[in-house]
Structure 1
Amino acid sequence: MSLPGSLRTVAAVAVYWTAIALGGSVLLPDPTSPLVAVPTLGGGAVVAHAAHTDRLVELGYAVGTMWIAVLALSIGTGVVDVFALPRREIAPLADYPGIAAIGTVGLLGVLVVAYAAFSRRSDERDAAESE
């Protein structure tokens, strides 16, 4: 059973926006923090642009790239905390408000840069195929 194109687009938009909002806010200690607006609204703008310009595939790659950044940040923090700190205690990054804010904005930045790069690459590939 296949879904109509518009229903597929709505489902993709909902999944991508949720993935961006969750991944972008992973460093926030308080889910009611005003910084939740950064990944929610910023991610919404990127998703809206992707849906409007029919670039949902490129957005999918960008969301995957953002989640790789979340994973790398998590692993890197754990390695630094275990091997570099004398107490050998893992302190969550979310305990530091400045780091949480920079990380939240940085993860949105990763998403935007990856989306732009994948979109440019797709445009170049399309231009090369049309020649």
Structure 2
Amino acid sequence: MFISDPLRTVVAVAVYWTAIALGGSALLADPTNPLVALPVVGGGVVVAHAARTGRLVELGYAVGTMWLAVLALSVATGVLDAVVAPDTVMAPLVNYPGIAAVGTVGLFGVLLIAYVGFIRRSATGAATAAD
């Protein structure tokens, strides 16, 4: 089955932007929080850059890295709850506005750092292959 390149790009852009918006705002309890603009608008800018420069593969790896950070944060919170305070119930991280804000900015930072890192790795690999 043949799928045209523009359609493939549109689908990739939609999937990556959705994944960034959902993962980046995972720590926000209120979907109307102004901080949700960071993963939504910032994610749109990063996705637009990747689509325009042909770096959707690198963006895919960066999105996966961001989701690994979400998973690590979730597991670390569960372990902390079970080990440090086993007799008490720890409130979810979204109930702490400071942690939610730092986490949202941090997750977006993970995405940006991973994206730049994968672009550099791709460029280094292309330069090595050309030699």
TM-score by structure 2 length? Answer: 0.97
Per the alignment, residue 5 of structure 2 pairs with: 5
Alignment of 1:1-131 (within 5 A): 1-85=1-85, 87-131=87-131
Contact 1:13-1:51 at 8 Å conserved across structures:
yes
Could you tell me which amino acid in structure 1 is paired with residue 32 of structure 2?
T
Long gaps (5+) in structure 2: none
Unpaired stretches in structure 1, ≥5 consecutive residues: none
Q: 1 CA distance for matches of 2:18 and 2:58?
A: 16
1:67-126 superposed Cα distances (whole Å, 9 cap, x missing partner): 000000000011111211264313200000000000000000000000000000000000
What CA distance in whole angstroms lies between the structure 2 residues aligned with 1:56 and 1:72?
24
Amino acid at match of 2:80: V
- Matched letter for residue 81 of structure 1: D
Any conservation in 2 of the 1:16–1:60 contact (CA below 8 Å)? yes
- Amino-acid identity (%): 66
Q: Secondary structure at the match of 1:2?
A: coil
Aligned length: 131
User: C-alpha root-mean-square deviation of aligned residues, in Å?
Assistant: 0.9
Conservation of the 8 A alpha-carbon contact between 1:21 and 1:39: yes
1:29 match: secondary structure: coil
Name the SS for the 1:31 alignment partner.
coil
CA contact (8 A) 1:81 1:91 kept: no
1:5-38 per-residue CA deviation (whole Å, 9 max, x = no partner) reads 0110010000000000000000001011111101
